[in-house]
Amino acid sequence: MVMNCHRVQNLISAYVDGELPGVEMLAVRQHISDCGDCKSEFESILLVKRSISCLAPKCPSTDLAASICMKLSESGTSMESGILYAVKRHLSGVSGGLRLVGVAAGLLVAMTLVGRSGTHTTPLIYSPTASSMLVRSMDESDPVKMFSMHNGNRTQVFRPRQVNMPMSDDWGVGVVTPVSMTNWNGCQVAAGH
């Protein structure tokens, strides 16, 4: 392949970047070795490229990473797809009727739920000293989003959807009360369920 100066000069940047196919690359190389003008063009473009490449990296202020992470927390931004829980759930089928299940002793109940961005971003926060807890967010796309709180007498199982709704006996909404390990005495199915 033989190239004229006009064509070579259009290919100079790609040649400098090593982005030409082999045949073209060899043709450009051959031309440059024979042609003074094109050789100058090549050398000046190469110098520009190398000058930019050799620029010393600019460093940010030392707390930029921390600042970014803090802004992520403050902004309430959450991911738009994929809701995550700090909870692993295991479901196992139970044949037959109701069953009383003992609860492992020595543990407090706490759960977190992270809501979808834009509407429910405040996580559910459990405080062992609070007398009530507000249910703030749920992910409505998740089919199993129910949890239970034990108030010392019975266990309520429900799927809250809204903030600070009064306790009701159906699956709808509720304000949960915290459980302390010292008064846990097992659980039973809430009435009606």
Partner 1 sequence: MELFVSMLRIVLRRRIVVVELSKTVSVPYQNEDRRVFDQLVQKHHKQAYNVAYRMTGNHADAEDLTQDTFLKAYRFFGNYRRDMPFENWLFRIMSNMFVDWLRRRPKAQIRSLDEPIRQEEGETTLDVPDTGDGPEALVLSYELDSELQAALNTLPNDFRIAVILSDIEGLSYEEISEVMGSSIGTVRSRLHRGRKLLRERLKPYLE
Window 149 to 168, contacts with partner 1 (CB under 8 A): 155, 157
Contact 29, 39 (CB under 8 A): no
Closest CA to 177 of 155, 160, 145, 161: 155
Question: What is the closest distance, in whole angstroms, from the C-beta atom of residue 70 to partner 1 in the complex?
Answer: 10
Binding segment (CB under 8 A) for partner 1, from list 21-29, 32-40, 125-133, 161-169? 125-133
Name 156's bridge partners. Answer: 149
Which residue of 7, 13, 25, 30 would you call a contact of partner 1, by CB under 8 A? 13
- Contact between 14 and partner 1 by CB under 8 A: the answer reads yes
- Contact between 50 and partner 1 by CB under 8 A: the answer reads yes
Question: What is the closest distance, in whole angstroms, from the C-beta atom of residue 138 to partner 1 in the complex?
Answer: 13
Helix (H) or strand (E) holding 150: strand 147-150
Question: What is the closest distance, in whole angstroms, from the C-beta atom of residue 66 to partner 1 in the complex?
Answer: 9
# residues near partner 1 by CB under 8 A: 81
Residue 95's identity, in one-letter code, is: S
Binding segment (CB under 8 A) for partner 1, from list 21-29, 31-39, 57-65, 162-170? 57-65
Nearer to partner 1, 51 or 131 (CB): 51
Question: What is the closest distance, in whole angstroms, from the C-beta atom of residue 49 to partner 1 in the complex?
Answer: 5
Please give the Cα distance from 156 to 179 (Å, whole number). Answer: 12
Closest CA to 137 of 46, 76, 53: 76
Closest CA to 159 of 193, 131, 109, 184: 193
Question: What is the closest distance, in whole angstroms, from the C-beta atom of residue 36 to partner 1 in the complex?
Answer: 17
Judged by CB under 8 A, the chain residues 58 through 117 that form the site for partner 1 are: 58-61, 64-65, 67-69, 71-72, 75, 77-82, 84, 86-104, 107-112, 114, 117
Q: Please list, in sequence order, all residues whose beta carbon lies within 8 angstroms of the beta carbon of residue 189, skipping any fewer than 6 positions away.
A: 98, 155, 157
Nearer to partner 1, 35 or 110 (CB): 110
Please give the Cα distance from 189 to 172 (Å, whole number). Answer: 16
Question: What is the closest distance, in whole angstroms, from the C-beta atom of residue 60 to partner 1 in the complex?
Answer: 4
Residue 96 neighbours by CB distance under 10 Å: 5
